[in-house]
Structure 1
Amino acid sequence: MNRNPGNFAPSGMQSSLGRTMAFFLSLTIFAVVIINIWTLWGSWQHNQKVREEDARNLSVSLAKQAEDAFLQVDITLADAVRQLTINGLDYAATPVFANQLKEQQGKLRQLHGLFIYDAQGKWIATSGNYVPAKGSNADRDYFVWHRTHDDARVRIGHVIRSRSTGDLVIPVSQRLNDSKGNFAGVALATVKVDYFRQFYNYYTLGDRDVLGLILSDTTVLYIRPFPDTAINHSLSTSPLFTTVLKTSSSGSATWRSALDGVERVYGYARLEQYPLIVTAGYDLDKIRSDWFSANIIDVLLNLILLVMISGMGMFVLRQVRKNVRNQVELTQIRDELTTINHTLQSLALIDGLTGLANRRQFDAMLDQILKRSQKSGEPVSLIMFDIDYFKRYNDTYGHVAGDVCLQRVSTILKETTQWQDAVVARYGGEEFAIILPLSGESDAKMIAERAVNAVLAARIPHETSGLSEHVVTLSAGYSSLISDGYSDEAIRLKQQADKALYEAKNNGRNRVHGLT
């Protein structure tokens, strides 16, 4: 009986080895497909997270830049108002005051101009070259607002076009009052929109990536790369104001722009001291395109390797190892950026010239120490110092020598203040401050007198001083209180110390005056 062996021999798929290979092949293809989908998804999620972090870090950085820019203008404006408060509004019409305005404008790149208007909106003084004889700004929004509001704080308004130069400027204004508290005019500083335009242009971004500076009332002050027609546009319908800022003052999120409808990954940060918000947005379509371009080769190679089963294992292993290595490197880079960011945040709390705490750190520490006082029931004292006739010192010896003088005075203050947890800060210009925790009036007086005497003993020459010693001297004012937890205690303590300082200067300078 003839038998065909082929009739009984198992085919490749029916054999155990064939089934095993078919199963292994199917399992391998399935695993490769699943692994690749998972890897690509993880890569996209990681890329998305990195871009969100980039956007958030950029917005925080720009927020700090904007806050510093407006803080400098705020301090300059406050100094002008303080001089007018001390000397009267008529002082604004003097050549000395006009020269001071011009000098202050020259110090700040972002400053377009400084102006003083009387109660009728008439120009009294300006840092510009001329004062219009019949010029009036009574119709300006900021002027109307201050005339109808008693708020003495600085106000940042919508962008306007300067009547003197035609430039787009951001008005930063403050109300002026007469001795009876009635409206006496407005002090105005204008910030150049071009300052932010130029600064934001330093960043290399995509064509549809945006950087924006926005008022908290939703009005655009400047946004790159949109034309100037976008300035003063309201973003009230943007998710930034309808949703995002209601949950966090800084962070990152994805939404469609209310200006052009483009979906972007945004970082956002609200300024602490001023009603401003900074946003940085990366075009989501461009992010996808870049990510796809960076990953398309891997996708094609994996599709080819699905056919080339013999090399698939090694290739996948190499890809996994490569991805792990890349992820580790990205994690290290992220950690390094985080460390750098923390370092920058620390530097932002130190005055670059004197090495003392700056105004931002001073305000934060004063709030903390007042909270401790509320819990412990112990007093807190604040001493305010001012270098006597420091403007004359700068005029006589130059600003470089003035900086050296500030450094020497700051060193003396640190050396003479051996008080536990005391905070020695540069308050602004030639003004310094010392916060003394757990100390009352007697302690504050002792430290203040010690500092004033130490600066006098240093015998720093000052030939144009108005005092007979002809050396650099300090005037000091101090005040103390025990915190009851009221929100205005920090302001009240500073006002009392500043008033005491004012009395010390009025009583002849080079002395200490206390006020509680």
Structure 2
Amino acid sequence: MNAWLIWKARTTEFQQVTVSTTNLTRAVSHQMNAMFSEVGHVLDSLGYELERADITPDRMQQLQPVLVNQVATIDQVHGLFVYDATGRWIAHSEPTAYPNANNSDRAYFIHHRDNISKRWHVGAPILSRSTKVWVIPVSRRIDDADGRFAGVVLATVRLDYVLRLMGDFDIGRHGAIALIQDDGTIMARLPFAQEDMGKSIDGSPLYAILRAQRVGTTETRSPVDGVQRLVSFQHLQDHPLLMAVAVAEDDLLQDWKTSSILQSGWILALCVLIGVAGSRIVALVRLRWRTELSLHQAHHELERVNAQLAELARNDGLTGLANRRHFDQQFDLAFRQSVRHDRPLALIMIDVDFFKRYNDVYGHPEGDRCLQQVAQAIRAAVRRPGDFVARYGGEEMAVLLPDTDDAGATIVAETIRKAVLALDIPHEGHALGRVSISAGIAARSASGSETTSVDLLKRADRALYAAKAAGRNSVAMLQPTEEAADIGER
């Protein structure tokens, strides 16, 4: 009976740690994916600009401060570089000039020279020749107007930044956490050892498991240091990389071993000292109570994590605002409460002016960044706890204002319009020369005539069309009896 209880406790301990390491791996993977994607978007933006215009010495000189500014604003980036088709440095963020520098021998340069894809390439860690700092190269190919290889744009990610991110997570005294390429090359690992950088685990039993599954957990011996660990892993969504989080079995089973020894000792004492059986039973009950309390706490922690994941599913991944599905639910609830309690309700529909032109001029990565800035400005302007901001679709946003009449909604809409204009985002496709928004307001009075939320939504949408018809960068509001004419381009 005692052996069964001990084994059951060991199984329970493994199950709890498996759940914890799986959740930890998911969190680290999402963080790493977002970090490398941010760097990739910067490369896409630079590559797009370089391919749009001739690469001349004057233009490269103008590009220099842009690269320096980008490095200053993105923590993980150590340097930005532009190489021509021969590998010669033509622009960079370094403070020192390198007139004879050439990187045509680097693996990432050869990769882009021999492959026509413009997808981001994440290379094995290297020691920077210019700064003597360990970095991870992230690069993109540049083509000329005829589609021929014209060079490479490179961002170097500080290895110490990646290690700091991984170091924020508790993996135990003998645990390990690693960023690995899909081909088995170690990119970064804690505990850190310089000789592990660029080392391959290809051919090991662990790599065979990592290669066969996108997500999973396994018990295996490390091909790096030989320690037996419980390993949870997950491949990154947008990059040929994976994260592995490993907890050493010695750390994992330490509490279980201690508990098992104590439990066996008490049972032996009960057999020998029957006269003190009562006190020993109490100790065993207390031990079991602690175990059940730990299980209860682990259950609540799992529920909390699941609730966080559910919250992520309700938000728009680009802007961080509520998504359309969440908005529809909140709008229907707010409208029914407005009718039931005879309280006013206002809806503001917002559209970024000439956004299609913006994408055509600046490209979709910059378009995404524009939407993020506009969303932040709207969220900052809507401050009451009960107010609700969502991305309705594309470049269209929605603001729901309970207990707000048309006058109050107009004030909020004007505040949003001015806040977006104050962002001063350049827009060559707009007569204003910068990004602006148009807003349409529909407010339901305490005894409004709208019978459904759809009626209020349609009126707000018609008001938005009216704002655009009035020349854009404006706010319009229609009463229930008013109609708005159709307009052409939104």
TM-score, with structure 2 as normaliser: 0.67
**Structure-2 separation of matches of 1:322 and 1:464:** 63
C-alpha distance 513-343 of structure 1, shift in aligned 2 (>3 A): farther
Instruction: Find the residue that maps to 2:270 and give its secondary structure.
Output: helix
Tell me what 1:336 maps to.
Answer: 300
Shift of 1:189: 0.7
Quick check: 2:210–2:233 contact (8 Å CA) kept in 1?
no
Please state how far the C-alpha of 1:322 moved relative to its aligned partner. 4.7
Q: Does the CA contact (< 8 Å) of 1:53 and 1:252 recur in 2?
A: no
Change (3 A) 1:257 1:116: same
Relative distance call for 1:386 and 1:328 in structure 2 (3 A) is farther
Number of the residue aligned with 2:147: 181
Matched residue, 1:505: none
Q: Is 2:266 aligned against 1:301?
A: yes
Residue 424 of structure 1 corresponds to: 393
Give the superposition deviation at 1:461: 5.2
Give the partner amino acid of 1:269: Q
Q: 1:461 to 1:61 in 2, by over 3 A?
A: closer
> Paired residue for 2:134?
168
Q: Which residue of 2 aligns with 1:217?
A: 183
Using the alignment, how far apart are the partners of 2:392 and 2:231 within structure 1? 38
Q: Is the contact between residue 387 and residue 473 of structure 1 (CA under 8 Å) also seen in structure 2? A: no
Instruction: Supply the distance in 1 between the matched residues of 2:375 and 2:53 (Cα, whole angstroms).
Output: 25
- The equivalent position to 1:159 in structure 2, one of 125, 129, 139, is 125
Q: After alignment, is 196-205 or 143-152 more displaced?
A: 196-205
2:78 pairs with one of 88, 105, 112: 112
Contact 1:125 1:131 in 2 (8 A): no
| One-letter amino acid of the structure 2 residue matched with residue 173 of structure 1 | S
State the distance in 2 between where 1:195 and 1:66 align.
11
> Residue 86 of structure 1: CA displacement?
2.5
AA aligned opposite 2:69: E
| Matched-pair contact (CA < 8 Å) for 1:56–1:252 | yes
In structure 1, list runs of 5 or more residues that go unmatched.
1-33, 362-382, 391-401, 413-420, 426-431, 435-453, 476-508
Aligned residues: 382
Task: List per-residue Cα deviations over 1:127-176 (Å, max 9, x = no partner).
Answer: 22134101100000000010011111001111111111011111111000
* Alpha-carbon separation, structure 2, partners of 1:202 and 1:46: 26
- In structure 2, distance between residues paired with 1:388 and 1:205: 47
Alignment of 1:409-488 (within 5 A): 423-424=392-393, 460=421, 469=432, 472-473=435-436
Q: Compared with structure 1, are the counterparts of its residues 333 and 354 closer, same or farther at alpha carbon in structure 2 (3 Å cutoff)?
A: same
User: Which amino acid letter does the alignment assign opposite residue 38 of structure 2?
Assistant: Q
Judged with a 3 Å threshold, the aligned counterparts in structure 2 of structure 1 residues 314 and 111 are, in CA distance, closer, same or farther, namely same
Answer yes or no: is the 8 Å Cα contact 1:120–1:138 preserved in 2: yes
Change (3 A) 1:91 1:343: farther
**What pairs up with 1:95-134 in 2 under 5 angstroms?**
95-134=61-100
SS in 1 for 2:238: coil
* Two-structure CA RMSD over aligned residues (Å): 4.1
Q: Give 1:332 shift.
A: 2.9
The aligned counterpart of 2:209 is 243
3-state SS, counterpart of residue 243 of structure 1:
helix
Q: 1:191 to 1:48 in 2, by over 3 A?
A: same
TM-score w.r.t. the length of structure 1 is 0.64
Instruction: Select the structure of larger CA radius of gyration.
Output: 1
Are residue 233 (structure 1) and residue 233 (structure 2) matched? no
In the superposition, relative to structure 1, how do residues 386 and 144 fare at CA in structure 2: closer, same or farther (>3 Å)? same
Aligned match of 2:257: 292
Structure-2 change in CA distance of 1:334 and 1:105 (3 Å): same
**Gap regions ≥5 residues in structure 2:** 327-354, 363-370, 382-389, 398-414, 439-471, 474-486
